[in-house]
Structure 1
Amino acid sequence: MDELNILRTAILNEVEGYQFYSLAAMRAEDESVKDAFNHLAKEEQQHESWLRKMYRQLSDNQTPTLEGLDVTEAPSPRIFRPGNVGTESGSLEISVYKIGILMEKESMVFYRNAAKEAQTPELKELLQRLAEWEDSHLESLQNIYDTLKEEWWGQQGFSPA
């Protein structure tokens, strides 16, 4: 896949992520869940902006730059802790977290593979950083999902065998 196609796919991935997390935030009843999904939606928009900038630079045959892009390290927002999600979260929130896990995992794999294919050093670095970012999201969402799943099983009167 050439670099512009990689970027087009990545941009669409971020747009889909933004739409999903925005919708999840609107549907969430728990304020901490709503905040977490709004935070993820905002990050997806930021990623899209970075990718669009890189796309414009490469498509205009400019020397790409990461200047102005704060992609130095994946964040660790404190809102992604199981203790920040109320125990009243229901099956909708659990389902949304599971879908988020699947999306983040797929994004992480895509970015890692795309970084291996990229020839432009700046694009390679951006894709590697985005893979790290998605991995951070994946781990956080998985931890919350595991906690909510256990709570839900308890509310249903059964536990895993």
Structure 2
Amino acid sequence: MLDKELDIIKQAILNEVEGFQFYQMAAKQAHSKESKEAFLELAEEELKHADYLRLLFDSIKTGGKDDMRLAFISNPPSPNLYQWKKEEAQYANLAMSVFGIGMQLEQASIDFYEKAKENTEIEVAKELYEVLLKWERVHLEEFTKQYNIYKEDWWSQQGFSPF
């Protein structure tokens, strides 16, 4: 059973590292300072997720239940809320793509952690997955809002507006 748990956590770490890489790439493509900084902060949050998962992995691998509990005495901090500055109209396509892919990544993370939480018997793992679920849901909500703003603008630019 522990091998299954460890495999789930290894995949979760990989997912977070991939998210980190994506947000790093998105920051390089951002055309406003605020968006670049927000994507860089998101990238750092992904690394924090990976760090908490590594602690869980090490605790499970060594088998020390007391060690596991001590590793998570302090809950991870809540994710930051970002003030996204709207990109210029000429970059709306890029912004829609970045936020669209971000939404897919966050939804995939939510699905992954929900399944992991359902399939673990380790209570501290359930608690960590729940914290990570909350973080990912905040990210998804923010990305969805931003995507919808750009989508409405893009539709209007394309003459799709009925008015």
TM interval, short-chain normalised: 0.7 to 0.9
Q: In the alignment, which residue of structure 1 is the partner of 2:37? A: 35
Report the TM-score, using the length of structure 2 for normalisation.
Answer: 0.87
Letter in 1 for 2:14: L
Per-residue deviation, residues 80-99 of structure 1 (Å, max 9, x unmatched):
x5xx3234342111101000
Q: Letter of the 1:130 partner, please give it.
A: L
Who is 2:13 aligned against? 11
Q: For the residues of structure 1 that align with 2:121 and 2:92, how far apart are their CA atoms? A: 45
Distance change (3 Å), C-alpha of 1:160 and 1:94 = farther
Kindly provide the CA deviation profile for residues 108-134 of structure 1, in whole angstroms up to 9, marking residues without a partner as x: 011011001111111110011111111
Taking only aligned residues, the RMSD between alpha carbons, in angstroms, comes to 2.0
Q: Which runs of 5+ in 1 are unaligned?
A: none
Unaligned stretches of 5+ in structure 2? none
1:120-131 matches, cutoff 5 A:
120-131=122-133
Q: Which position in structure 1 is the counterpart of 2:144?
A: 142
CA distance in 2, matches of 1:103, 1:39: 16
Pairwise mapping of residues 35-54 of structure 1 onto structure 2 (< 5 A)?
Answer: 35-54=37-56
Matched, 1:133 2:138: no
Match status 1:75 vs 2:76: no
Equivalent position SS for 2:121: coil
Give the whole-Å Cα distance in 1 for the aligned partners of 2:37 and 2:112: 26
**Same amino acid, percent of matched pairs:** 38
Q: Equivalent residue of 2:106, what SS?
A: helix
Residues 55-134 of structure 1 mapped to structure 2, 5 A cutoff: 55-63=57-65, 64-65=68-69, 66-67=71-72, 69-71=74-76, 74-79=78-83, 84-88=85-89, 89-134=91-136
Taking a change above 3 Å as real, the CA distance of residues 126 and 32 of structure 1, as seen in their structure-2 partners, is same
Query: Compared with structure 1, are the counterparts of its residues 51 and 160 closer, same or farther at alpha carbon in structure 2 (3 Å cutoff)?
Result: farther
Q: Which has the higher helix share?
A: 2
Q: Which has the higher contact order (CA 8 A, sep 6+)?
A: 1
Distance 1:45 1:160 in 2: 44
The SS at the match of 1:119 is coil
Query: Hey, which bits of structure 1, 4+ residues long, moved more than 4 A?
Result: none
**SS of 1:75 mapped into structure 2:** coil
Which structure has the greater CA radius of gyration? 2
Counterpart of 2:107, as a letter, is K
Distance 1:152 1:68 in 2: 46
The alignment covers a number of residue pairs equal to: 157
